[in-house]
Amino acid sequence: MNIHEIIADEIQKLIKEEQWNDNEESLSDKIYARRFGIETPAIKSPNTNSVYNANGEFMGQGKRENGMPYSVYRNPQSLSDFPKDARGILLPDGTLYLSDNNEIGHYNLIDFLASKHIIPNGNRMHYHVNYPEEFVAVIRNGTRNELVQSVAYEEFPYYYEEMFDNANKKYPFKFLVYSYQ
């Protein structure tokens, strides 16, 4: 039996025996664990059931209206694994929640965070006009190592500048105010 046949056989065994979803370890991890007896367990936060990975602390999954899933991470220390134009919500203390799906709207993240009682419910609609003091909507600036405020905002109040200042002290990437002129 050659290596390709062994891999194909192992994959077929895993497909028949198990079901998995995006939150579980990869198929490669399962094959490696079965073949060599080495597991790659998720690292649990000591205070929560959240899982840490390279993107930060996994907070859970949400679904868009069309059923498309997205994952939310708290305080990622790198943007390298996030897509261009990834959406995020920044809190006054510098806590960042960032999605791994660039096709969701900020209102999806706002609903997700409100459902977890992280931000007040009711700020979803017209956040870009009401300028709530509890958060600022941010977006990754293309593929750059920086985040800017949502293009939905027409102004940038002083308390949003304070949030960006707090975040710039906390992360290796930058929070920059996009100029509309």
Domain ranges of the chain: 3-36, 43-176
Residue 112 is predicted with a pLDDT of: 92
Minimum mean pLDDT range among 6-15, 38-47, 168-177: 38-47
Q: Which residue has the higher pLDDT, 128 or 151?
A: 151
Give 62's strand partners. 70
Question: Phi and psi dihedrals of 91, rounded to 5?
Answer: -95, 165
Q: What's the mean pLDDT in 92-109?
A: 91
* pLDDT at 33 > cutoff 50: yes
What is the H or E stretch that residue 128 is in?
helix 127-130
Minimum mean pLDDT range among 43-47, 70-74, 112-116, 154-158: 43-47
Report the b/e string of 3-41 with b at 16+ CB within 10 A.
eeeeeeeeeeeeeeeeeeeeeeeeeeebbeeeeeeeeee
Q: What's the mean pLDDT in 68-86?
A: 91
Confidence of residue 44 (pLDDT cuts 50, 70, 90): very low
Q: What percent of the chain has pLDDT over 70?
A: 72
Q: What percent of the chain has pLDDT over 90?
A: 33
* pLDDT at 66 > cutoff 80: yes
Question: Phi and psi dihedrals of 80, rounded to 5?
Answer: -60, -30
- Digit-coded pLDDT (tens) for 155-175: 888 899 999 999 999 999 999
Confidence of residue 22 (pLDDT cuts 50, 70, 90): very low
Whether the Cβ atoms of residue 150 and residue 135 lie closer than 8 Å to each other:
no
